[in-house]
Amino acid sequence: MRFKIGDHASISKTITEADIALFVAVSGDTNPLHTNAEYAKRSRFGERIAHGSLTASLISNVIGTKLPGVGAVYLSQTLKFIKPVKIGDTITATATLTQLREDRPILTLRTICTNQKGETVLEGEAHVLYDKSVSEV
């Protein structure tokens, strides 16, 4: 597969109670900000919010399935959390190719997650190794 600067791909997902429960089960992160409505009500957010890493995992979905897709291996990811993600928010994760290395199959991607209002909730940058030899499934 050939890539060019500006290539982009997205996925969207509505964050549910089940997503929070499954993330707690996998990660062990039982912070009451995510799991306890009464506690969260007293927080700066006024309600429960999704784990930041749950939101960031949507970027992994884009990279592993769309751009560059199968054969992608994360080398690094920076994340800046801008707004909280609430249960019921629909998050769109987008990766945009910003740089291609000439000497190695390494791609730099701008990564961003937005909510259903178009507000940026997370942004960052990923460096990905693309092994085209394993990209055919």
pLDDT band at 134 (very low <50, low <70, confident <90, very high): low
On the question of pLDDT at 125 being above 90, the answer is yes
**36, 53, 57, 113 from 23: Cα distances, Å:** 14, 9, 10, 18
**Interval 11-28 mean pLDDT:** 97
Count H helices and E strands in the chain, helices first: 4, 5
Q: Which pLDDT value is given to residue 102? A: 86
**Interval 41-68 mean pLDDT:** 97
What the block records as the tokens of 35 is 């799991």
Q: What are phi and psi of 107, to 5 degrees?
A: -115, 145
The CATH superfamily holding the domain 8-15+51-134 is: Hotdog Thioesterase (3.10.129.10)
